[in-house]
Structure 1
Amino acid sequence: MSTQTPIPTTPSTTGLAATRRQLWAALEARDEQAAAAAVLGAHDAGVPAEELLLDVIGPVQARIGAEWAADRIGVAQEHAATAIQDRVVAALAHRTADAPASCLKTGTAPRRVTVACVDGEWHALPARLLAEVLRGRGFLVDYLGAHVPTPHLIAHLHQTGTDVVALSSSLPLRLPTAHAAVTAVQAIGLPVLVGGAAFGPDGRYARLLGADGWAPDARAAARLLAAGPPRPDTARPTTTDDLPHLADQEYTLVTRARTQLVRQVLQGLQDTVPAMTGYTDRQRERTAEDIAHIVDFLGASLYVDDPELFTGFVTWTAGILRARGVPGDALIAALDLLADAQHDFPRARAHLAAGRRALLHVPAPPAPGPRS
Structure 2
Amino acid sequence: MSLPLPSTEGGGPVLADARQEGARRLWDAVLAQDETAARDAVLAAAESVGAESALLDVIGVVQRRVGAEWAADRLSVAQEHAATTINDRCVSALVRHPCAQAPPGPSAGHITVACVDGEWHGLPARLLSEVLRLRGWQVDHLGTLVPPPRLVAHLHRTGPAAVALSGSLATRLPAAHATIAACRAAGVPVFAGGSAFGEDGRYARMLGADAWAPDARGAADRLAAGPLPRPRPGHEPADHLPHLRDQEYTLVTRSAPQLVKAVVTGLTELLPAMRAYSAWQLQQTAQDIAHIVEFLGAALYVDDDDLFTGFICWTADILTARHVPANVLLPTLDLLGAELGDFPRATRLIRRGARELTDRPAPNSPAPEVHR
TM-score computed with the length of structure 1 as normaliser: 0.92
Q: Offset of 1:362 from its aligned partner?
A: 2.4
Q: Offset of 1:47 from its aligned partner?
A: 1.5
Q: 1:50 aligns with which of 46, 49, 52?
A: 52
Aligned to 2:65: 63
Aligned to 1:94: 96
Q: 1:261 aligns with which of 243, 248, 259?
A: 259
Q: Is 1:212–1:232's contact at 8 Å kept on the other side of the alignment?
A: no
Asked whether 1:85 is paired with 2:87, we answer yes
Q: Offset of 1:240 from its aligned partner?
A: 5.5
Aligned to 2:369: none
Aligned to 2:75: 73
> Quick one: distance in 1 between partners of 2:26 and 2:359?
37
> Quick one: distance in 2 between partners of 1:212 and 1:365?
42
Q: Offset of 1:272 from its aligned partner?
A: 1.1
Query: Residue by residue, what CA displacement relative to the aligned partner does 1:281-326 show, whole Å, maximum 9, x if unpaired?
Result: 2221111110000000000000000010000000000011112222
Q: Is 1:112–1:139's contact at 8 Å kept on the other side of the alignment?
A: yes
Gaps of 5+ in 1: 103-108, 368-372
| Counterpart AA for 2:212 | W
> Quick one: distance in 2 between partners of 1:365 and 1:99?
52
**Residue 29 and residue 242 in structure 1: after superposition, are their counterparts in 2 closer, same or farther (change >3 A)?**
same
> Quick one: distance in 2 between partners of 1:112 and 1:161?
8
Q: Is 1:224–1:230's contact at 8 Å kept on the other side of the alignment?
A: no
Aligned to 1:33: 36
Q: Is 2:126–2:143's contact at 8 Å kept on the other side of the alignment?
A: yes
Aligned to 1:117: 115
Aligned to 2:26: 23
> Quick one: distance in 2 between partners of 1:232 and 1:202?
23
Taking only aligned residues, the RMSD between alpha carbons, in angstroms, comes to: 1.6
| 3-state secondary structure, aligned to 2:49 | coil
> Quick one: distance in 2 between partners of 1:311 and 1:240?
30
| Counterpart AA for 2:26 | L
> Quick one: distance in 2 between partners of 1:280 and 1:364?
30
Q: Is 2:167–2:193's contact at 8 Å kept on the other side of the alignment?
A: yes
Q: Is 1:173–1:297's contact at 8 Å kept on the other side of the alignment?
A: yes
| Counterpart AA for 2:86 | I
| 3-state secondary structure, aligned to 1:178 | helix
Q: Offset of 1:41 from its aligned partner?
A: 1.6
| 3-state secondary structure, aligned to 1:242 | coil
> Quick one: distance in 2 between partners of 1:302 and 1:90?
39
Aligned to 2:361: 363
Q: Offset of 1:241 from its aligned partner?
A: 0.9
| 3-state secondary structure, aligned to 1:119 | coil
Aligned to 1:127: 125
Aligned to 1:105: none
**Residue 208 and residue 233 in structure 1: after superposition, are their counterparts in 2 closer, same or farther (change >3 A)?**
farther
> Quick one: distance in 1 between partners of 2:248 and 2:23?
46
Q: Offset of 1:233 from its aligned partner?
A: 7.4
Aligned to 1:284: 282
Deviates more, 1:27-36 or 1:318-327: 318-327
Query: Residue by residue, what CA displacement relative to the aligned partner does 1:127-185 show, whole Å, maximum 9, x if unpaired?
Result: 11111110011110000111111111111112213111000000110100000000000
**Aligned residue pair count:** 357
> Quick one: distance in 1 between partners of 2:356 and 2:288?
18
Query: Residue by residue, what CA displacement relative to the aligned partner does 1:30-64 show, whole Å, maximum 9, x if unpaired?
Result: 110000000102223x3211111111111110110
| 3-state secondary structure, aligned to 1:214 | strand
Aligned to 1:214: 212
Q: Is 1:5–1:66's contact at 8 Å kept on the other side of the alignment?
A: no
Q: 1:295 aligns with which of 270, 280, 293?
A: 293
Q: Offset of 1:72 from its aligned partner?
A: 1.4
| Counterpart AA for 1:203 | G
| Counterpart AA for 1:15 | A
Q: Is 1:166–1:194's contact at 8 Å kept on the other side of the alignment?
A: yes
TM-score computed with the length of structure 2 as normaliser: 0.92
Q: Offset of 1:228 from its aligned partner?
A: 2.4
> Quick one: distance in 1 between partners of 2:162 and 2:67?
30
Q: Offset of 1:99 from its aligned partner?
A: 2.0
Q: Offset of 1:18 from its aligned partner?
A: 1.1
> Quick one: distance in 2 between partners of 1:154 and 1:47?
38
**Residue 4 and residue 273 in structure 1: after superposition, are their counterparts in 2 closer, same or farther (change >3 A)?**
farther
Gaps of 5+ in 2: 11-15, 366-372
Q: 2:5 aligns with which of 4, 7, 11?
A: 7
| 3-state secondary structure, aligned to 1:83 | helix
> Quick one: distance in 2 between partners of 1:240 and 1:198?
24
Aligned-residue sequence identity (percent) comes to: 57
Q: Is 1:212–1:230's contact at 8 Å kept on the other side of the alignment?
A: yes
Q: Is 1:121–1:170's contact at 8 Å kept on the other side of the alignment?
A: yes
Q: Is 1:101–1:110's contact at 8 Å kept on the other side of the alignment?
A: no
Q: Offset of 1:101 from its aligned partner?
A: 4.4
